[in-house]
Amino acid sequence: MTTFLTGIPSQEIDEIWEACEPFIERASKKGQSEMTSQDIYNFCKDAKMQLWIVFDSEANIKAVVTTEIINYPKKKVCRIITLGGKEIDNWLHSITVIEAWAEENGCHAMETFCRKGFIKKLEHYGYEQTYTVLGKELTTIH
Protein backbone atom coordinates (compact mmCIF):
# COMPACT_ATOMS: atom_id res chain seq x y z
CA MET A 1 0.00 0.00 0.00
CA THR A 2 1.31 3.40 -0.94
CA THR A 3 1.18 6.07 1.74
CA PHE A 4 2.47 9.59 2.00
CA LEU A 5 3.00 11.92 4.92
CA THR A 6 2.42 15.65 4.63
CA GLY A 7 2.54 18.60 6.97
CA ILE A 8 -0.57 20.75 7.32
CA PRO A 9 0.00 24.53 7.44
CA SER A 10 -1.43 26.15 10.58
CA GLN A 11 -3.88 28.23 8.54
CA GLU A 12 -5.39 25.02 7.09
CA ILE A 13 -5.86 23.15 10.39
CA ASP A 14 -9.60 23.86 10.57
CA GLU A 15 -10.21 22.19 7.20
CA ILE A 16 -8.93 18.81 8.39
CA TRP A 17 -9.09 18.90 12.18
CA GLU A 18 -12.36 16.99 12.62
CA ALA A 19 -10.93 14.01 10.74
CA CYS A 20 -7.62 14.18 12.68
CA GLU A 21 -8.94 14.63 16.20
CA PRO A 22 -9.90 10.96 16.86
CA PHE A 23 -6.30 9.90 16.09
CA ILE A 24 -4.94 12.57 18.43
CA GLU A 25 -7.46 11.67 21.14
CA ARG A 26 -6.42 8.00 21.07
CA ALA A 27 -2.73 8.87 21.17
CA SER A 28 -3.03 11.44 23.94
CA LYS A 29 -5.00 9.06 26.16
CA LYS A 30 -1.83 6.97 26.45
CA GLY A 31 -0.03 9.82 28.22
CA GLN A 32 -0.45 11.42 31.61
CA SER A 33 -3.18 13.88 30.60
CA GLU A 34 -0.63 16.65 30.04
CA MET A 35 -2.81 18.15 27.35
CA THR A 36 -6.06 17.54 25.54
CA SER A 37 -6.74 17.40 21.84
CA GLN A 38 -8.13 20.93 22.20
CA ASP A 39 -4.79 22.09 23.60
CA ILE A 40 -3.00 20.44 20.67
CA TYR A 41 -5.44 22.08 18.24
CA ASN A 42 -4.70 25.50 19.76
CA PHE A 43 -0.94 24.94 19.59
CA CYS A 44 -1.18 23.81 15.95
CA LYS A 45 -3.36 26.80 15.04
CA ASP A 46 -0.80 29.11 16.69
CA ALA A 47 2.03 27.30 14.84
CA LYS A 48 3.59 26.28 18.16
CA MET A 49 3.11 22.64 17.16
CA GLN A 50 2.91 20.95 13.78
CA LEU A 51 0.24 18.63 12.39
CA TRP A 52 1.25 15.81 10.03
CA ILE A 53 -1.08 13.39 8.26
CA VAL A 54 -0.38 10.03 6.64
CA PHE A 55 -2.72 9.41 3.70
CA ASP A 56 -3.10 6.30 1.60
CA SER A 57 -3.37 6.40 -2.19
CA GLU A 58 -7.15 6.91 -1.91
CA ALA A 59 -6.74 9.95 0.41
CA ASN A 60 -7.86 8.02 3.50
CA ILE A 61 -6.16 9.13 6.71
CA LYS A 62 -4.02 6.33 8.08
CA ALA A 63 -2.28 8.24 10.86
CA VAL A 64 -1.85 11.63 12.46
CA VAL A 65 1.34 12.90 14.07
CA THR A 66 1.95 16.09 16.01
CA THR A 67 5.36 17.56 16.67
CA GLU A 68 6.91 20.46 18.51
CA ILE A 69 10.29 22.11 18.22
CA ILE A 70 12.07 22.27 21.57
CA ASN A 71 14.91 24.71 22.12
CA TYR A 72 17.11 23.27 24.83
CA PRO A 73 20.01 25.47 25.96
CA LYS A 74 22.50 23.33 24.01
CA LYS A 75 20.38 21.67 21.33
CA LYS A 76 17.31 22.21 19.18
CA VAL A 77 15.17 19.07 18.72
CA CYS A 78 11.92 18.06 17.11
CA ARG A 79 9.72 16.17 19.56
CA ILE A 80 6.96 13.85 18.43
CA ILE A 81 4.07 14.66 20.77
CA THR A 82 1.40 12.28 19.50
CA LEU A 83 1.47 9.54 16.91
CA GLY A 84 -1.69 7.59 16.33
CA GLY A 85 -2.89 5.53 13.44
CA LYS A 86 -3.62 2.26 11.75
CA GLU A 87 -1.31 -0.17 9.95
CA ILE A 88 1.81 1.48 11.37
CA ASP A 89 4.21 -0.89 9.66
CA ASN A 90 2.95 0.33 6.28
CA TRP A 91 3.78 4.00 6.85
CA LEU A 92 6.24 4.45 9.72
CA HIS A 93 9.07 4.74 7.17
CA SER A 94 7.48 8.11 6.27
CA ILE A 95 8.84 9.54 9.51
CA THR A 96 11.82 10.55 7.37
CA VAL A 97 9.65 13.37 5.99
CA ILE A 98 9.35 14.86 9.48
CA GLU A 99 13.05 14.29 10.12
CA ALA A 100 13.98 16.16 6.92
CA TRP A 101 11.65 19.02 7.86
CA ALA A 102 13.22 19.14 11.33
CA GLU A 103 16.71 19.37 9.85
CA GLU A 104 15.59 22.14 7.50
CA ASN A 105 14.34 23.99 10.57
CA GLY A 106 17.65 23.75 12.42
CA CYS A 107 16.96 20.73 14.62
CA HIS A 108 19.86 18.51 15.58
CA ALA A 109 17.81 15.54 16.78
CA MET A 110 14.40 13.93 17.12
CA GLU A 111 12.87 12.76 20.39
CA THR A 112 9.64 11.28 21.65
CA PHE A 113 8.19 9.93 24.86
CA CYS A 114 6.62 6.63 23.89
CA ARG A 115 5.34 3.34 25.22
CA LYS A 116 7.58 0.26 25.38
CA GLY A 117 6.03 -1.45 22.37
CA PHE A 118 6.76 1.50 20.15
CA ILE A 119 10.46 1.57 21.03
CA LYS A 120 11.15 -1.53 18.92
CA LYS A 121 9.39 -0.04 15.91
CA LEU A 122 11.37 3.20 16.09
CA GLU A 123 14.68 1.40 16.63
CA HIS A 124 14.36 0.14 13.04
CA TYR A 125 14.65 3.79 11.95
CA GLY A 126 17.72 4.66 14.00
CA TYR A 127 16.04 5.79 17.21
CA GLU A 128 17.50 4.62 20.50
CA GLN A 129 16.24 4.69 24.03
CA THR A 130 18.13 7.46 25.80
CA TYR A 131 16.21 7.49 29.07
CA THR A 132 12.98 6.31 30.63
CA VAL A 133 10.23 8.59 31.85
CA LEU A 134 8.11 7.41 34.77
CA GLY A 135 4.97 9.13 35.98
CA LYS A 136 2.77 9.08 39.02
CA GLU A 137 -0.50 10.92 39.51
CA LEU A 138 -0.68 12.74 42.82
CA THR A 139 -4.00 12.75 44.60
CA THR A 140 -3.44 15.74 46.83
CA ILE A 141 -2.50 19.31 46.05
CA HIS A 142 0.29 20.62 48.27
Instruction: Encode pLDDT of 56-96 as tens digits.
Output: 989 999 999 999 999 999 999 999 999 888 888 888 999 99
Each residue of 88-119: pLDDT tens digit?
888 899 999 999 999 999 999 999 887 777 88
Task: Centre a 10 Å sphere on the Cβ of residue 120 and count the other Cβ atoms it contains.
Answer: 10
Q: Is the pLDDT of residue 26 over 60?
A: yes
**Distance between CA atoms of residues 12 and 17, nearest Å:** 9
Give strand pairing partners of 71. 76
CB-based contact 38:18 (threshold 8 Å): no
Average pLDDT over all residues of the chain: 89
Residue 115 carries which DSSP code?
A: -
